Each structure stands twice: as structure tokens, then as C-alpha cells.
Structure 1
Amino acid sequence: MNIKVGIFWFAENTLIFKAQSAIDLKPDQLGFIDSTLQHQVEWEDNNIYQLFGLMLDSTDYYNFPRGRIVFNAEQNTSYVYLDKSLFKKHIVKKIKANFSLLDTNVRFFTDPHYNCFGSI
């Protein structure tokens, strides 16, 4: 079981993501494992969307709905924080598949931090 943590967006019907294996990272004092990946850096400096065949050079990272996945080691549960517009069965399925969450406990949370002002 190689559970992953990381960040993601949903743009142009594509899940854009960067994941890290949770086993390679250390939990914090509360037992949470999170990646150090930052949405702004990956989008604006590293142009992550190009890896998924998208040309979104003139866009800002916050123009598309996004989220983050952390792992709670004490509860053996992945926490998915995401824009409420992403809480759709086909999108959730893509998130779970790409972060190796199909056979694990997962809890979903909407978070004002990930609210998107654009539409998908």
C-alpha cells in the first residue's frame, strides 16, 4: 500500500497533480504527513500543467479548483481537502486512483483555502 500525499487541480477536464509517497515523509507532532509542495510554485514556476499536455501559461494557479491530500498516520486515513466544485463522483475517482487511495480510508473536506473563483 503506497499511499500518496500532494496537491492537485482540475482544469480542462484533466486532473493535474503532483504526488509524493507518504512513506518517504515524516509525520508532524499530530501524526499528519503532508508534502511541502506548494500550488503557486508548481503552477507558476514549474508549469506543472505542461506535463499533462495543457497550455495554460497565462493563467494563475488559483483560477482552477484545487486541493491537497494529507495522511493521518494515527488514524490510518487520508484527508482530501478540496474545492466544493470537485466533489463529483468522476473527479473523486480520479483523485483516489492517482494518489493510491482506492483501498484505504479517505475523508473529504471542503476548505475555504481551496475555494476557486473560476468555474470548471
Structure 2
Amino acid sequence: MRPTPQVGIFWLVPAPCAPVLLCDSTPLPQAEPYGVCLGHPRGHFETWEAWRALGMHGLARLGLPACILDHEYEDFPRGRIVYQRDSEEFIIYADPRLHRPRLRRSILARFALEPVPVRFAVDAHYRRC
């Protein structure tokens, strides 16, 4: 049985051995309507601040990196995945730095988006100045 595709938000953050993809996701059947799309109910800022509120021990318990405590949510490349109902495809809006083939494969695998219709897009909202 294939895993259920998900919508959500993600970041690529530094870690001691290699960068880590941090994700917060919702299975498509539980996604919330937003115009012609279905999306994740939580935003980047809200999720990041909830993680920061956990403190060092709470982050460690969840396997999240400590860098969350010392940085703002917009300090790292990030993106969002939505499902567009009219075209029946998932759209991955992400910082251009996350469009490398290896990272694309990681994002697709983490959100169970293989082999469903997917389109990667660049959105100025996720670009770091």
C-alpha cells in the first residue's frame, strides 16, 4: 500500500553531518481548503515559534536540531506544498536553493509525492534577501 500524499511546510537547516530537511505536514485527506487549493493549516512562523517554545530538551525529545533556538524561521531556505484541486497536482513552492535534484527527491519522498503529479515553482515569498 502506498503512503498518503501530504501537504505542508519545510526548511533546509544546517546540522553537524549534513543539512536536514525539517517538515511539518498534513495528509491530503485532512488538508484545509484555501481557494482552489488544499493546504497545511500551520504556517512557517507559527510552527517555528512552537518549536522554539519547546526549549532545548523538548527539541531533543522530538529529534529537532538546536539551531531552531538561535535563528528566526526565515533564516533558512524554506517552502510549502499545496494541492491544486482544479489541475489535480501538487505544487511545491520553494526557495530556489531547494530546487537541486537531490533536494527535490528528498522533498518528494518525505511528503509521499511519488508518483503523483507534481510541479516545482519558485515563489518570491520564500526567497531570502
Sort the TM-score into its range (normalised by shorter chain).
0.7 to 0.9
SS at match of 1:46: helix
CA distance in 1, matches of 2:29, 2:46: 23
Q: More helix by proportion, 1 or 2?
A: 2
**Which of 90, 95, 100 does residue 107 from structure 2 map onto?**
95
**Which of 67, 70, 77 does residue 65 from structure 1 map onto?**
77
- Residue 102 (structure 1) shift: 1.2
Between 1:38-47 and 1:10-19, the stretch displaced more is 38-47
- Residue 29 (structure 1) shift: 4.4
Partner of 1:6: 8
Stretches of structure 1 that go unaligned for 5 or more consecutive residues are none
Q: Indicate whether 1:17 and 2:1 are aligned.
A: no
| Aligned residue-pair number | 115
**RCO higher in structure (CA 8 A, sep ≥6):** 1
Deviations 1:49-91 (A, max 9, x none): x334411111000000000000012222000000001111111
Stretches of structure 2 that go unaligned for 5 or more consecutive residues are none
The normalised TM-score by structure 1 is 0.87
**Which of 28, 36, 39 does residue 34 from structure 1 map onto?**
39
Q: Which entry has the higher C-alpha Rg, 1 or 2?
A: 2
Check 1:45–1:98 CA distance in 2 against 1; reply closer, same or farther (3 A cut). same
CA distance in 2, matches of 1:102, 1:62: 28
Q: RMSD of the TM alignment (CA)?
A: 1.7
- State percent identity of aligned pairs: 28
On the 8 A contact 2:31/2:41 being kept in 1, the answer is no
The normalised TM-score by structure 2 is 0.81
Check 1:75–1:60 CA distance in 2 against 1; reply closer, same or farther (3 A cut). same
